[in-house]
Amino acid sequence: MNVATSQSEVTGPATPVGSGSHQAKIVVEDFIAFFGAQAVLRNIHLSIYPRQRLAIIGPAGSGKTTLLRSLNRLNDLDDDFRHTGRILLDGGDIYDSSTDVAALRRRVGTVYAVPTPLPWAIYDNIAYGPRLAGVRDRRRLDELVESGLRSAFLWDEVKDRLGEAATNLSGGQQQRLCLARVLALEPEVLLLDEPCSGLDPISTAKIEDALAELKSRYCVVLVTNNTKQAARASDRTAFFLMGELVEVGLTTQVFTNPADGRTGDYITGHFG
Amino acid sequence: MKREKIISVVLAMVAMSGIAGLALITAYIFKEGLPIIVRVGLKDFLLSGDWHPLEGKFGIFSWIVGSLAVTLGAMIIGGLLGLSCAVVLTQFCPRRLVVVLKPAIELLAGIPSVVYGFMGVMILVPWIRQHLGGPGLSVLAAAVVLGIMVLPTVTSISMDALRAVPRSYRDGSIALGATGWQTTHMVILKAAKSGIMASLILGMGRAIGETMAVIMVAGNTLDLPHGILDPVRTLTSNIALEMSYASGDHRKALFATGVVLFVIIMILNSIALAVSSKRARKAGVR
């Protein structure tokens, strides 16, 4: 797998940082995605490492979200979606016909751009995933709910009203609830699709703080339209443009000394 | 300006005459039917099975039981089928197939009821007689025919309710590792509950009011049915069967039967309206 990553990744000086992270968690190999006849991602090669936050930036329509949704096969829900190439999670192709898609989505969790609370109590929202996974023990569920909420920095705000409807929470709280809900599944990879796009700065800061803490345990992929957020809240950054991966590298490097002129133009706001 | 005025007045009159027609019918049915109910006594009228118009005995209990039995059966068959269709078409079917299947199911609503009845008499009734016993003309035959007839109502209104469930519920559930079916029964069906209830109740209204197909397959006996293979007479078929020769009190008793039907259907529609407006209120708050 290392062979694949070293030769195929679009090179900037993209050596992974951190100890023990040479083994990639996710490897995207020559991935092409279509909606209908239109190719929205072209020949993507990308490695994502454990215990790192990868930010994916790029203008609207660049394929960021499509890539993210491909990583746990959420695109399968769209009748028009087709793909070629492979995506390996710990070496196994997730598009293999033998993959248990529900189990895959528990290992690779998603937080959407818009909060998606279910119309139930806060507790039931968070316990839903573990219950589906077969956790029946009430005490274990309580633990998962609490630890999820704590990791999402929401516990203190809701601990006394876990029985209240999740839909009554504010937008920022709902988004952290969705984060807590994913964390209660104890996933291996966390996918965030512009998780702060509709949030005020304080809620945004809380989510970024949560991500910084989560980094020690998870592999995080963050799609964002906000380049400042990418600079603040990621270790590596990938820049997408019109379905192509233009460059990927250490965030500091991409932001201070991008290898490709288009990256620099985007970051400094010349287009997009 | 003057022309505008005239047009709006004319339109208002047309609209009012429709409503006036409804009001007249209602008033007439009650005027004709109520006195005999009062004379016989509400309790005797509803709860006595003694229907001998020539001797002045008017008890419609058997017809009420018949209507309820047939309707219940129809709702079990049609409700189950219709709801399943709605779930499959909204949750599991590729869009291209839905475009063909939904109009096909709605087409069922356009087939005249006499055709359903004819199919029932020619195919279903002999089949029941041969394989399950009894005369064939039975509660079961009527329930099956009516079940198919209410299917489009249940399906299309349930589909609207299921489609009104926010897409985010589905996305959120799927992303947490739920399968399509888990998402459907744990999230979507729960969220669409009140709309589905409304579809069932409206279907029930349709089943209880249907006449022609029921007359053709139900057997129309005067006796109280004791099983689903027994023949049965419903409120609607009683009116239709006897109106041609009824006169005097007998005729008034048929109007009274109409009053009972009218009240039952009003109650069902009010319940449907109440559940679906509860849903609208809830959606407004969210």
CB contact under 8 A, B176 and A112: no
Say if residue A7's pLDDT is above 60.
no
- Residue B253 CA to residue B242 CA, distance in Å, equals 10
A74–B168: do the CB atoms touch at under 8 Å?
no
- Any idea what the CATH number is for the domain that residue A221 is in? 3.40.50.300
Which pLDDT score is estimated for A105?
A: 93
Query: Tokens in use for A54?
Result: 């990868």
- Residue B2 has what pLDDT? 86
Of B200, B211, B88, give the one whose Cα is nearest residue B150: B200
Residue range B63-281 in CATH 3.40.50.2000: no
**A56-100 pLDDT per residue, tens:** 999 988 999 999 999 999 998 888 899 999 999 999 999 999 999
Instruction: State residue A18's pLDDT score.
Output: 44
Q: Is residue A38 part of a domain?
A: no
Say whether A74 and B175 touch across the interface (CB within 8 A): yes
The domain in which residue A218 lies consists of: 50-68+99-267
**pLDDT tens figures, B154-197:** 999 999 999 999 988 999 999 999 998 999 999 999 999 989 99
Between CA B243 and CA B257 the distance in angstroms is 11
Residues of A in contact with B175 (CB under 8 A): 72, 74, 105, 109-110, 112, 116, 182
> Residue A209 is encoded by which pair of tokens?
């703080």
Query: Could you give the C-alpha distances from B278 to A107, B194, B217, B271, B273, in angstroms and in order?
Result: 39, 8, 38, 11, 8
**Degrees, nearest 5: CA angle A81-A84-A89:** 95
For B62-94, write each residue's pLDDT tens digit: 999 999 999 999 999 999 999 999 999 999 888
Residues in chain B whose Cβ is within 8 Å of chain A: 94-96, 168-169, 171-179, 182, 186-187, 191, 286
CB atoms within 10 A of CB A160: 8
Q: Is A171's pLDDT higher than 80?
A: yes
pLDDT tens by residue, A113-146: 889 999 999 999 999 999 999 999 999 999 999 9
Question: Nearest residue of B to residue A78 by CA position?
Answer: B94
Mean local confidence (pLDDT), A13-20: 43
> What mean pLDDT value characterizes chain A?
87
Q: In this predicted structure, what is the pLDDT of residue B279?
A: 61
**C-alpha span between B266 and B269 (Å, rounded):** 5
Give the pLDDT band (50/70/90) at residue A14: very low
pLDDT at A6 over 50: no
% of chain A with per-residue pLDDT over 90: 67
pLDDT for the residue B280: 58
The answer to ipTM > 0.90 is no
CB contact under 8 A, A182 and B191: no
Cβ contact (<8 Å) for B286 and A178? no
Is A135 in contact with A98 (CB distance < 8 Å)? no
Query: Is A199 an 8 Å CB contact of chain B?
Result: no
Alpha-carbon torsion angle B64, B66, B71, B72, nearest 10: 100
**In chain B, which stretches have pLDDT less than 70?**
279-286
DSSP string for residues in A116-168: ---SSBHHHHHHHHHHHTT---HHHHHHHHHHHHHHTT-HHHHTT-TTSBGGG
**Is the separation of the CB atoms in B54 and B245 below 8 Å?**
no
Q: Domain ranges for chain B, please list them.
A: 63-281
Range ranked top by mean pLDDT from A7-16, A18-27, A90-99, B122-131: B122-131
Enumerate the residues of chain B whose CB falls inside 8 A of the CB of residue A109: 175-176
Q: How buried is residue A255: exposed, middle or buried, by Cβ count under 10 Å (0-12/13-18/19+)?
A: buried
Round to whole Å and give the CA distance between A44 and B208: 62
What's the pLDDT score for residue A149?
A: 94
Q: Which alpha helices (H) appear in B120-179, and where do they start and end? A: 125-131, 139-163, 167-175
Note whether A214 and A222 are within 8 A (CB): no
Chain B CA closest to residue A165: B286
SS3 content of chain B, % helix, strand, coil (to 5): 80, 0, 15
Is A193 within 8 Å of A113 (Cβ atoms)? yes
pLDDT of residue B281: 60
Inter-residue contact B116 to B109 (CB < 8 Å): no
**Strand pairing partners for A192?**
A111, A222
What local confidence, expressed as pLDDT, does residue A111 receive?
92
DSSP string, B57-96: EE--HHHHHHHHHHHHHHIIIIIHHHHHHHHIIIIIS-HH
* H or E element at residue A88: strand A81-89
Number of domains, chain A: 1
